[in-house]
Structure 1
């Protein structure tokens, strides 16, 4: 703060698309800024963009944040400004994104098609970024065709784009096994309690632990590689340690809404959160077959807090899937009342091992053994 007080340049903190955050996180963040904003040096400016969601509007009007905010609405008078910004985005980003497939990409696709593309976005940057990723889809390797398909479509609202992406990834008429694979992968990513990487995902979904590596490749080639317009998928390069792989993330929460809303989209991909929690609960129990007493080889006389390098020892002894299972299984098991005995029997069978594994992960229990 002392350095900022003496600085001549302004520091701008940008929070873009705040409405895309989880409601509780967004509210907590705004309350935190409300407490700190009066203590910040005058050079520090906060710039936020968001839709006018009720829970955010309520935060804006609370003390002391209300006195510090200047709220501006992007009304009809700003449409041309937004369109110019989206056009500039396309002009800057598309040539780089399609350069390996277009002979002369410097001004691609030209002013006329760029204007038509801007008109398709309904003045929404979320549409513009999704369209750009669709056009540059590495699976198609044909940006011209992708662009023509988008421009020839009757509508390009988000639901239409999501439907196009899923239809190309898993065309109507695909066999049931492929549809189930897409649903299981997307469902696991939606309900997972923390972002998970591809190794954890495969570990929880694979019916055969000995085939986990092959299942990782199966998920990557059959599902994830087709969904790069809606998912942040880490590089194909596999780290030496599976835990070090970056997690898979949804680019927009609106895609999650699309997958879980009964009034939108293709029923083939409609996700029932309860069914997906049950699927992960079963996957967690399957992983827990690997549990054994004191598998991290800890001194039973020491508290977990007294064990040197406990986190590293857990990483060395427990797979990413097993770590997730021990830490998060209870959430998936208790999501709803289960039909049939398979969950309850599995929990009873592994009860002692589950408690021991959970204790080693989060420091519960009086002794590390």
Structure 2
């Protein structure tokens, strides 16, 4: 599935119509959630049928396209399924019980309720919400795909306006020649990451760089009278600043993950529990600013696009164990150099990256970990890993 996004060029009347459609979507979603709470043995198909009942009962709900109402019900079904999956998997902490939505920002259409112009630069929404014809501003060309491949169309509200997203049923597979390179990545706060060869990428710290501007905008919001138009304008400027920071993080994560996966055949990274790590009040802001989860999720995505191997490794003892002999060398966070009695002296993060790579290769079945029997291909003795190259060439990863 490929998602193309365009900026929507609309007038004031269309803005009001889109907002009404978004509120209707939120209303239907919350009604379906309440219906499930009162009848927990129902199936997802029953939620779809309930949207038709809501359309007959409420006149404003009938204005929204029938498939858009079903898409709102599917959001509830997905939240319910995720909750039960987390319960079955016995995930520690909160399981994500479905909650009522208070600030919905999107409305989703399926295969009807909209119509593209012949030049694919305009889209017309044909339901009773009266959104009408919307100009699409962007660089993507929708002529490459047939109309039947467009499975979903979303209208998304952001701080800087409204966007139209097209979900296209198309596979994005790019075949690349094997490079014979393997990489282990240790993410951190001093540097965004350091690999097993000592190469490092600096942490951009977008939130820290914009913190003064954000504080100034927050102060302006607090000085405005509640409910006034000036306060709304100040809030909008603050939202735009936060949106810019989030877009900068995404752009950095996407470009960096793409570069890492393209230039390597095998990538191993730490499977960090960021949700637990941000409980540290002294490091929470820096951890969130680093956006490790965003980076690793894009690593997994590009591994499917380019047909490469990406493995998540448990982070336990990757910093404490020696990458050369496997001996445990305990050290605090303030100690940045790994010194082992076997003579191995490395930067702490580089040592961890080597351990992550070795663990990843072991999990994938390519290598034995340092210190174990049968360690003929230990880390650092055969950098090409012939078994890995063979499997990649045969496509058996």
Q: Same fold (TM over 0.5)?
A: no
Q: Which has the higher strand share?
A: 2
Q: Which has the higher helix share?
A: 1
Greater relative contact order (Cα 8 A, min sep 6): structure 1 or 2?
2
Name the TM-score, length of structure 1 as normaliser: 0.29
Name the TM-score, length of structure 2 as normaliser: 0.28
